[in-house]
Structures are given as C-alpha cells and as structure tokens.
Structure 1
Amino acid sequence: MAALLLLAAVTGLNGCRKAEGGAVDAVVIAERPPKLADPLAADLAPADLLLVGNVAQGLVRFDAAGDIAPGLAERWAVSDDGLSYVFRLRTASWSDGRKVRARDVVRLIERQLDRRSRNPLFDTIGAVREVVAMTDRVIAVELNAPRPHLLQLLAQPEFGLVRGGGGTGPFTDSTEGGAIDLVRTLPGFDGDEAQQQRVRLTAAPAQRAIESFVGGDSELVLGGTVADFPLASAAKLPRNTLRIDPVLGLFGLVPARDEGPAADLETRALLDEAIDRDALVAALAVPGLQPRLSLLQPGLDLADGPALPAWAPLTLEQRRPDLLVRAREIFPLASGSQPPPTLEPRKTISLALPDGPGGAIILARLKADWEPLGVQVVEAGDGPADFRFIDEVAPSSSPAWFLRRFRCEFTAICSEQADQLLDAARLTGFPPQRARFFVDAERIMREEVLFLPIAAPVRWSLAGRDVQGFAENRFGRHTLTDLRMAPNARD
C-alpha cells in the first residue's frame, strides 16, 4: 500500500506543485539558452526559433493547434484570384517604443525575401512579386501566381519580425539568472483588470530536461526529436504527458557528395530497397510512426498519390534474393574469389547521423540491412559522409517544399529535368498544371533515388496536466500563449 501511495505521489508531482494561473516553467531541449536574434542574420537553432516565434511574431502566427492566428496583422483579406493578400496591422510599438509603421514592416519582409537572405524558407516562398505599404497600417503582398499556403509560411518563426533586438510580441522577454521570463499582458474587459500570462523558459540537454519534468520542477518540455526520443520513452513519465506532433516532412537519407558509393544510381537503388523500414520504425518505438516509401507524404495537396518504387508491393523477404544478386554485381569480389553465403564487406558507406540514442538505433538497423549485402556501414564522424540523415518538418502542406529541397542548388546529387519541372511549376498560374508538374518531378526524383525515405519526422514534447492549452500540431511549432487555458477557452 505504501508503495502505491509513493508511486501516486511521484507520478502526480507534475502539475500539482504549480499554483493555478502562475508562471509556467518550460524547458526547451538545447545545449544553450535560446537567444532572440534576427533570422536573417544567423542560422538559428530550433530553440532560438521557439523564442523568436513567441517574442517577435510575424504578420501572422500559429495558435496551439497549428492554425493561423493574428500576429502583427490583426486581420487580412485575400483577393478572389489568390494573387493579393492585404494585411491590416494592429496598433503596436517596437521594443524601443517606436510606433510600428507599415513601411518599416515592408523593409523587414523584403529583406527576408531577398535571395541573399539566410532565411531557409526564401526559396519556398518565391512566388511573391512585391510587398507594398498602402497606408501606415496596411500592407499588400502581391504574388505572381496563387499560393494557398502563403499564410502557413508567413506564420513560421523564420518570418518573425525582429527590429532593434526586439519584436512585437505576443510576449515581452527579460533574462534573469539564465532563465528567460516571458510576459504577455491581456487587456481587461468591462472594467476588469488586465491579465498576465507568464512563462519561465530555460534550456537543458534532453536527459536533464526529462528529469526536471519527472521531478516536478517543470511543467512543459519542448524540442524533442528522434535523436533523444528513446530517453523520453524509457522515462517513468506521468500518464498522457508524452505528446507526439503529427508533423509532415522529410525523414530519411540524402546523398551527401557527388563521388563515392552515393553517386552511383544502382548503389542508391540497392540500398534504398534493402532498408527494412518496418523494423527500423519498430525499433524507434514512436507511437503512431509509420514507414514510408515515398518522397512526398500522404496528406499533402497532391493531384495523384505519392510516387512509389516498382518493388513496393513485394515484401523484403521476396526482394532479398534479387538484392543479393545485384549486390554481387555492384560490389564485385576479387578475381578468382567465390561468393560466400554471407557477403564479406567490400564497400564502406559512411553516414552522418544525429547524435544520441535515436541515431544509434538508426545506425544499428542500417547495419543489419546493408552489411549482409557486402557493405560496411560506419558513422562519418568528422570525415566526409556518403549519406546524410534528414529529419526536417515541412513549413506548409504544399508539395513544393518537399521537392524543392532536392534542387541542384541545394543537393550533391540531383536531376536537372526535375529542376526544370519545378521552375515551370513556379511560373504557372494554373493550379492543376502546377500539381501535374509536381507529380512528374517527384516521379523523376524517386526513380533517381535522390532521397531514401524512411518515415515522417519525429517531434515530441512533455506537457503536465495543468498545461491545458498545449496541443500537438502538424507543424511542430508551439506557442507559449494561453498554456493555462482549456482549449475551448482560448482567445
């Protein structure tokens, strides 16, 4: 009986120790505290983007569920032809007290859209023709072709508006003792006093962040990936506190250089077909994670279903004899040798994988799948990698981001024909034709094995029972607003 009471006390710690309405203690998984910096000036870490999204919102932002919510723009309208978005700015001031004016916001957005920008989303949002300040509080974004996913892109923290080292909210921030204190003030109604929402944000490595949550010292942990998911899975967490985002994106291997094994199409095709995706996903043990054979993910806005390889209907056991025959042809034995029952390593494949137990699981599974073919699989470390692991969340539900990620401008191995189709898709104003260009480009990329897909990305969080305003979402972006509010009570 005593043991049961102790267990109940331990698992109930999280949430009970916090006074209702008090500051939420949140931890983001990172090696250093997040910093508020202009996304244009530096390559920001995920923890930095979390802070930017909550302190320096863009024209629009995401709510807890991943839906579009007002940001600096209090409302907007879209023309019937989808070529013009008009935003009305709310009354606001920058951190130095200067009033926000449309012309200042236009200058910031134009910098974000410049090809010289370090904004990683500039290529995805390339249909913008111009941004115009119509009045002091009205901005028009004019497009060359309709982009129904524009608001999803503008809501990303990469389009947060940072000026003079500050933003326009929804929180203001101050740093004290290594923690970032975030405050959001909500006006009172009908004579009521103004209300404040407070979040105390700190950073810690995954293991320490999980221990902090289990011990009741924090109520929210953000920023989990496949690299550290096994740590969360192994912890004795309170029931229903592990939350998995149903994100879209890329999770697999991409050729990292234009020489060596990855530069050979037959080798890429062999390795792609030999991956036991069911076993790899099972080893990761992420709830709801499904193996994937396609570059594009089901659930996107597609004219047809994602392109699948010809071998997709066959089980791995049915494919295995042919894999062994092809492996002997691709990796020939020394002259006069006889092929052994199990092929000896005759080719080394180096992989750049995420640090952490999740990366170790991926490496072990790829070794099990590829080494019977006569391939030695090693981690690249500081040396050159043949394949690099990608675990990236899509910023919108458009196929464009997935496909443009593999353009010749960005990857070591590419298809010029697919690039031409993507250029044509960008120029056309006819949505069905654009969708057809995407279908054809994906088919070529899959045939050329420009990407070895495995599953969807993995993003996880821990949320205590008093953090009722937290919700999983398809973008893996989490606002820190309204964390104490039940979903049906949010503003």
Structure 2
Amino acid sequence: MSGLIKSSRAFVLGTALIAGSMTMLSSTHAQAEKILRVGNDGEPQSMDPHFISTVQTSRVSDDMSLGLLTYGPDGQPVPGAAESWTVSDDGMTYTFKIRDHNWSDGTPVTAQDFIAGWQRLLDPALGAEYASLLYIIEGAEDVNTGKDGAKLAATAVDDHTLKVKLTAPAPYFLAQLTHQTAFAIPRHTVEKYGKDWVKPENIVVNGPYKLVEWVPNVHTKLVKNEEFYDAKNVPIDEVIYYAYEDRTAMQNRFRANELDVARDIASEQISWLRDNLSDSLRIAPYAGIYYYAIRTDKEKFADPRVRKALSMAINREAITDAVLKTGELPAYSFVPPGTGNYTEPAYVSWKDLPYGEKVAEAKKLMAEAGYGPDNPLKFTLR
C-alpha cells in the first residue's frame, strides 16, 4: 500500500478550537517489493519512547514497540503484549496476562519490564514531557512530583501477570495503554547502555520492526523483527521513513513513485489532488486540536475580555472551508466531537453566531477593556 496522509489542521485562541481530518493516497507498489517507503512530515525526536511528543516520531516508535494493548484495523484497542485482562467490579483494578513473547535479542518480555518503563517515565529526574498521562494510575502523580514515600500501584504478581490500580474508574485506560508512555523497556539493555540504549547498534524492541539505521534529517530504516510474536503475519520486510519538512517535495516524490506513503500534503494542493489523484487520495476522521496559547502572565492578556475578543475574531470557517479544505471542523470546544467515552462537548456560548456578529461583539469587548482605534492592542503572533 502507498499513500499520502494529511494530519488535522486547527486554530484556536482562548477556548475556540478546530478538529481535523486525515488524508491518504495509495497504490500497490510496496507490497510487491515488501519494502514500504514512507514520507514522514518531520524528523524523529528520539527513538526512546519516553522522549517522544510528536506524531511524526510516534509513527516510527509504534512500529518498533508493542504496548499492553495496540491498535486494531478499525483503530480500536486490541490485545498486544497482554493477551487478556480482567477488570474489578469497581473499575479500579486491572490485571493483565502478558503473552509469552521476547525482546528482539531473544530475552523474554516480563511484567516487570512494563513497571520499569512506567517508573522510568515518572522519574522526576528524567523530565519526560508526557509523564502526566500515567497519572490515572494510583501513586503516579506523587512519584512524578517527587513526594516522599510515593509508590506506584503497579505490581508484578509473576513474570506474566501485571496488576494495576487506578485513582478512579477510567473507561479510556485500555486505549491509553497503546500510547508510547505506557510501553515497556528492556531493563537489561537500558541498564547496560543508559541513554544510548536506543542507538541502532544497541536498541532492543518487542514490536514488529527494529531499528537498523538512522541518518538525521534523511531517513530512518526499520527491518522486520524475527523475534516478534506474530512475525509470520508481518508481510512487509522493511520500512524506510524519509524526513520531509517540505510537503510539496514529499508529494512530488510520491508522484514520481519514489514514495509509497506521504504522511502530509501541502494544503494548497488539495484541489489538484482531488482532480488528478482521486484513486489514491484518502480522507478519514482524525482527532486533533490546533490552538493559540495565550500568555496570561502578560498584562495585555490578563483581562478575559481581551482573550475572548481575540478568540471570537478568528474566522474558523474561512480557515477550514477556504484554506485547508480537507474536512477539518471549526473548533468551538476543547474536546473534539465524537471522542470516545465522552458526552457532547461543552461549546462556547457564541458558537452559532454569524461571523459578523462575532466581530461586532469582539470589538465591544475590546472597547470595554480599553482598546480601540486610539489605543490598539499590539502583540506578536507566532
């Protein structure tokens, strides 16, 4: 399969946001070669799952690491490193049965490897950006904030049984375990090499592919992990991720049959793609929010009327319909519509006002806050 994927686009100021969509182009070239050539819209940050915070990097990491759960063909969580699990009646305690499988060097994967991964992520000294995603586990926040006597409520009953207690029932917990923050680490390799454990010559993984080459700003090469528990059903032998900041250049390489998948496109090309590559183009829902973060510690933004006015002044519909044109939705809530295990989002009260009325109200708010033609609000937006 080959394709061109477009990530979601969205803009927000204050509390207004835009949910997105995803697009793809596809062919059959890669299946014949058993090599998948992927255009990735950015250079990987790291091969260490605890230092990943971008979608571009997690695509590579997800090919190499298998969480307790993983994604099925429909995007729903399915058994991964855990072949089964049970949940207590109160929804607070999960017990996972770890399947019999190995790291890529042949060492067995154990329940202790998952606990070690979580403890490493939560170690305040590590400074992991996404550590808070595990706060739903009892004791995780206390460990991460360095409280005395803090202990993570995760226990290895034996090598293949992992018990976890949550702070409260969380229907999203199983899905959360597909994220890189919940991956196990090969303790023996991390202890031996320290931060260098993720170099191609040292890295050990439990997913379908392993890293063999990383040329910064050029490409990352993965090959099939023969120790992967389901290796016989992995049809592609090699995956090469090419780093592209220039979406047009990536699109041109796809058209020249030098790429099988391009993970983003130049928005201004969407009409041409629909007209000329419709058989390859794919558009599917993608949950994401883009927004402007406002420095509320700056005096000019301290007044909530100013922040509300700026948010109301953004013409979201113009951005989604005339600029992006790939199915993005104007965002008037922080949670995208259709989010699993979530009710209808809480929208801003002015969501359905015509844009002209939003602008009029924004001007009124700015005047009340002391801004106008004789005293304009000036700031740098970047």
1:263-313, CA deviations, whole angstroms, 9 ceiling, x for partnerless residues?
Answer: 221111111222222222223333322212222332246786433333334
- Asked whether the equivalents of residues 125 and 150 of structure 1 are also in contact (C-alpha less than 8 Å), the reply is no
Say if 2:361 is the partner of 1:346: no
Contact 2:208 2:228 in 1 (8 A): no
Structure 2 contact 224–237 (Cα < 8 Å) conserved: yes
CA change 1:194–1:43 in 2 (3 A) is: closer
Show the counterpart of 1:489: none
Distance 2:351 2:248 in 1: 38
Distance 1:247 1:114, change over 3 A: farther
Q: Relative to structure 1, is the Cα distance of residues 302 and 134 closer, same or farther in structure 2, using a 3 angstrom cutoff?
A: closer
Per-residue deviation, residues 2-22 of structure 1 (Å, max 9, x unmatched): xxxxxxxxxxx9736556362
Aligned-pair distance for 1:188?
12
Which residue, out of 30, 35, 47, partners 1:23?
Answer: 35
- Measured against aligned partners, the alpha-carbon deviations of 1:28-62 in whole angstroms (never above 9, x if no partner) come to 122x4x4762233x345433221111112221211
Helix, strand or coil at the partner of 1:53:
helix
Equivalent residue for 1:59, pick from 65, 68, 80:
68
Mapped pair 1:104 → 2:142:
no
Q: Could you report, residue by residue, the CA deviation over 1:111-135 in whole angstroms, capped at 9, with x for unpaired residues?
A: 2344555444432331212111011
State the shift of 1:142 in Å.
1.4
Q: Which has the higher contact order (CA 8 A, sep 6+)?
A: 2
Q: Indicate yes or no: 2:99 matched with 1:90.
A: yes
Q: Unpaired segments of 5 or more residues in structure 1?
A: 1-12, 334-342, 353-491
SS at match of 1:50: helix
Provide the rounded CA distance (Å) in 2 between the counterparts of 1:264 and 1:188: 57
1:330–1:26: structure 2 CA closer, same or farther, 3 Å change rule? same
Q: Which position in structure 1 is the counterpart of 2:257?
A: 216
Q: Deviations over 1:209-248 (max 9, x none)?
A: 21111111121122x38xx433555557521433344223
Q: What is the correspondence of 1:328-407 to structure 2 with a 5 Å cutoff?
A: 328-332=367-371, 343=373, 346-352=376-382
SS for the counterpart of 2:237 is strand
Q: 1:243 to 1:14 in 2, by over 3 A?
A: closer
**Does 2:242 match 1:230?**
no
Separation in structure 2 between the aligned mates of residue 123 and residue 188 of structure 1, nearest angstrom? 30
Identity over the aligned pairs, expressed in percent?
22
- In 2, are the aligned partners of 1:58 and 1:72 still within 8 Å (CA)? yes
Alignment of 1:305-344 (within 5 A): 305-332=344-371, 343=373
Contact 2:64–2:207, Cα closer than 8 Å, also in 1: yes
| Residues 39 and 188 of structure 1, relative CA distance in 2, 3 Å threshold | closer
Q: What SS is found at the alignment partner of 2:286?
A: coil
161, 168, 171: which one aligns with 2:209: 171
- Separation in 2, partners of 1:273, 1:248: 22
What are the residue-to-residue correspondences of 1:176-325 with 2, within 5 Å? 178-185=219-226, 196-205=235-244, 206-222=247-263, 224=264, 228-231=266-269, 234-235=272-273, 238-300=277-339, 305-325=344-364
User: Is the CA contact (8 Å cut-off) linking 1:60 and 1:151 kept in structure 2?
Assistant: yes
2:132 to 112, 123, 126: 123
Q: Root-mean-square deviation (CA), in Å?
A: 3.3
Change in Cα spacing, 1:175 to 1:242, as seen in structure 2 (3 Å) is: same
Residue-pair matches, total:
322
Structure 2's unaligned 5+ residue stretches are 1-24, 139-152, 190-202
1:71–1:194 CA distance, 2 compared to 1 (3 A): closer
**Whole-Å separation in 1 of the counterparts to 2:375 and 2:255:** 45
Q: Contact 2:118–2:181 at 8 Å: present in 1 too? A: no
Q: Name the CA distance, whole Å, in 1 between partners of 2:110 and 2:342.
A: 41
Q: Secondary structure at the match of 1:218?
A: coil
Cα offset, 1:255, TM superposition:
0.9
